[in-house]
Chains A and B, each alone.
Chain A
Amino acid sequence: MAAAAKTTPKHADAPINKALTRDDKIKLFRQISRIRRFEQISLKHYNAGKMGGFLHLYIGQESVAVGCVSLMGPNDHVITAYRDHGHALAVGMGMNECMAELFGKKTGCSKGKGGSMHYFAPDKNYWGGHGIVAGQTPLGLGLAYGLKYKGLKGAAMCFMGDGAVNQGAFHESLNLAALFDLPVIYIIENNGYSMGTSQARSSSYTGCLAQRAEGYGIAWEQLNGEDVYEVRARVQVAMERAHSESKPTVLEIATYRYYGHSVADANHKKYRTKEEIERYEREHDPILIWRDHMIKEGILTDAQATEIDQEAFKEAEAAAVFAEKSDWPDPSEIFDDVYWEVDNQTVASQSGRHFFND
């Protein structure tokens, strides 16, 4: 059942979207499908007790990461919070390394040291994966600072949840972003709930959360995240602002998570109704919306779309097999990756004791 696309033609007709080739659009569909399937398979194995800790699923929000990341050039960077699987796959991290990290295996992207909330791929301009709410917001600022310092034309997209807007670190970051004219884009993925507390019960604001940027003299915009066309068209404006004016932007993108704050969130069907969740799945699902575009534009047939989805499903299943078969980290690795100097056996690492186990 295809959801009715809500996009107005103007978003699909934006130059940045007009520039998309047929293959680009199919790639976006493949990415969005891969994120969904990856997380569905990871949920299955989480529930089977194969993983430790938390699993914060991005299911329902995929169009935001995919749309934003699709705008990245060589000097654009991404950093996000703990709901980080979607952004990781969107920047090009492999399902195998991501799944193995969830399983706590040696082959994981962080060698089993980070887990679900801490994926990183600096080679893909992806800087995590951060567990403390809003803790990444000054880091995103720092990425922008680094770009500007080096004279590079780039932007740092710093994703965060709506629950992060009340942390002091975020407000300090906004002030510094405006004060130093830094090319950072704060992207509030507003799924309506900071864990179990609704926006109305957690934030005081005028208009919308992004409007708080006004107090800092920062441009802001509120948009709908369910359609990749809209995300691309409107985030591109902020990218342009970062690239050509070295100015920050705060974006608030409306989205929705189908699952709880984490899988361990036992109350997620209590603080919101079953009907609310079902309505989003039916009317606002980003995959169904993009699929609908593809079919209406004659880019994919229904059968071809299903085939791509099935490929994603198989890839995710294979990733789980890979993760399952991978070795656990060796206890000898406990003291690796603590100090750069020690890892690299430099002269600096030769003096003094670094570890104090006995």
Chain B
Amino acid sequence: MPRLIEYRQAIREALDEELARDPMVVLMGEEVAQYNGAYKVTQGLWEKWGDKRVVDTPISEAGFIGMGVGASMLGIRPVMELMFWSFYTVAWDQIINNAGMVRYMSGGLINCPIVVRGPANGGTGVGATHSHTPENIMASFPGMKCVCPATARDAKGLMKAAIRDNDPVMFMENTLLYGEKGEVPDNSELPEGELFIPLGVAEVKREGTDLSLIAHGRAVLTCLKAAEILEEEHGISVEVVDLRTIRPLDEETIFESVRKTHKAICVDENKPFCGVSAQIASSIQLHCFDDLDAPVLRVSALDSPAFYSPPIEKLQLPYPDVIVAKALSIC
């Protein structure tokens, strides 16, 4: 029988296994230890690993993220939680200039093996300041890597790859997914003895022949729902490509899908201006121009700050009907 676990537990397992594997791995962040994590991702880890390996920090993002970056230069491997990725704004200089640029500016003498992780999503009625989706922003900096897992399985396997990576990895989770259960094999079932998913490898989450939906994070699940509707109600066979990692980006899997279906819609929860889907759309038109039977379309969050009022905010993020309508306009 398949093992179903929550997305948050999958991440917790990855953290736990990496704490066990490498004594240089340290978890730090606000409420990650004694409180067990604001979203319970780190539940039980402080009790198991103690003060040295799981560290509560004050509400001081610039300070503790910068501290982690500095420690990583000496070979420590901090996995730092932003309670909300939205708080990256107050640690911007430490993340971008220090973690992101120090390797280049030192001519390759230094590297920062850090992970910054936490939820990066809207849709929870917490207002605009807590609803940012900065994957496009982080991925726009050469030197950075950026991961947005949609499922529990991917979250676990990608977290392990992120922690072992020797470059700074921005790992973006989703509060709306933390409680979602998914199939995650137990290590004992795996030939390698662990679940490890390399960065930079997309996955076709659903195969189809008429249209490619290209998405990441929670938008993948929205696309899967839209694909079902399109199949059942309109007889359209939809392929869903999950990017999983934004940078490095598996373009080949995208192009392969588009070359098969000849139509593409890029879906993300970013705002439209310079969102991830803009980058993907640009790449598709450049590399698959002759394969396309329709313009590449995009579905993104509506172009305003996040609305607080819950029923209105729901309309701001891509939902299946919007994707279905876009699909029908070209299919």
Interface, chain A (partner B; CB < 8 A): 77, 79, 108-114, 118, 120-122, 127-132, 135-147, 149-150, 156, 168-169, 172-173, 175-176, 179, 336-341, 343-344, 346-348, 351-356, 358
Bound CA span A112–B164, Å:
29
| A–B Cβ pairs within 8 angstroms, 21 of them | A111-B108, A113-B104, A120-B109, A122-B106, A135-B94, A138-B66, A141-B63, A141-B67, A143-B73, A145-B67, A146-B75, A147-B74, A168-B62, A337-B104, A337-B106, A338-B142, A344-B166, A348-B164, A351-B200, A354-B247, A356-B283
Q: Is the CB of B70 within 8 A of A140?
A: yes
Question: How far is A149 from B70 in the complex, measured between Cα atoms in Å?
Answer: 12
Q: Are B65 and A110 neighbours in the complex by a CB distance under 8 Å?
A: no
CB distance from A174 to the nearest CB of B (A): 9
- B44 within 8 Å of A (CB atoms): no
B309 at the binding interface (Cβ < 8 Å): no
Residue of A nearest to B62 (CB): A169
In the complex, the answer to whether A118 meets B105 with C-beta atoms within 8 Å is: yes
Min CB–CB distance A155 → chain B (angstroms): 13
Contact indicator B248/A353 (Cβ below 8 Å)? yes
Q: Is residue B190 within 8 Å, beta carbon to beta carbon, of the partner chain?
A: no
* Chain A: CB-nearest residue to B111: A340
Q: How far is the CB of B17 from chain A (nearest CB, A)?
A: 18
* A138, B66: Cα distance in complex, Å: 5
The 10 closest A-B pairs by CB, nearest first: A142-B70, A352-B200, A138-B66, A352-B248, A172-B63, A146-B74, A337-B108, A111-B107, A139-B70, A351-B200
A57 → chain B, closest Cβ, in Å? 20
* Contact partners of A156 in chain B: CB under 8 A: 70
Contact A358 B26 (CB under 8 A): no
Question: What's the Cα separation between A343 and B108 when bound, in Å?
Answer: 8
**B167 surroundings in chain A (CB, below 8 A):** 339-341
| Interface contact B198-A353, CB-CB below 8 Å | no
What total of A-B pairs shows CB separation below 8 Å? Answer: 195
Is there an interface contact between A109 and B245, defined as CB atoms closer than 8 Å? no
Assuming the A-B contacts A145-B76, A351-B201, A354-B248, are A169 and B94 also in contact, with contact meaning beta carbons closer than 8 angstroms in the complex?
yes
Known: A135-B93, A169-B63, A353-B200. A337 touches B107 (CB 8 A): yes
Chain B: interface residue count, which band? 35 or more
Min CB gap B114→A, angstroms: 10
Q: When the two chains form the complex, which single residue of A109, A131, A339, A358 contacts B143, counting CB atoms closer than 8 Å?
A: A339
Query: Any chain A CB within 8 A of the CB of B165?
Result: yes
A109, closest chain B residue (CB): B107
> With A110-B107, A176-B64 in contact, do A353 and B71 touch (Cβ < 8 Å)?
no
Q: Is B29 interfacial (CB-CB < 8 Å)?
A: no
What residues of chain A lie closer than 8 Å to B286, measured between beta carbons?
358
Closest-CB distance, B266 to chain A (whole angstroms):
15
A24 to chain B, nearest CB (A): 28
Q: Does B89 reach chain A (CB closer than 8 Å)?
A: no
Q: A341-B166, A352-B200, A353-B200 are in contact. Are A146 and B71 (CB under 8 A)?
A: yes
Residue among A130, A144, A172 facing the most chain B CB atoms (10 A cut-off)? A172
Complex formed: what's the CA distance from A136 to B70 in Å? 9
A contact residues around B67 at 8 Å (CB): 138-139, 141-142, 145, 173, 176
On whether the beta carbons of A128 and B63 are closer than 8 Å, the reply is no
Residue B248 contacts which of A146, A337, A340, A351 (CB distance < 8 angstroms)? Answer: A351
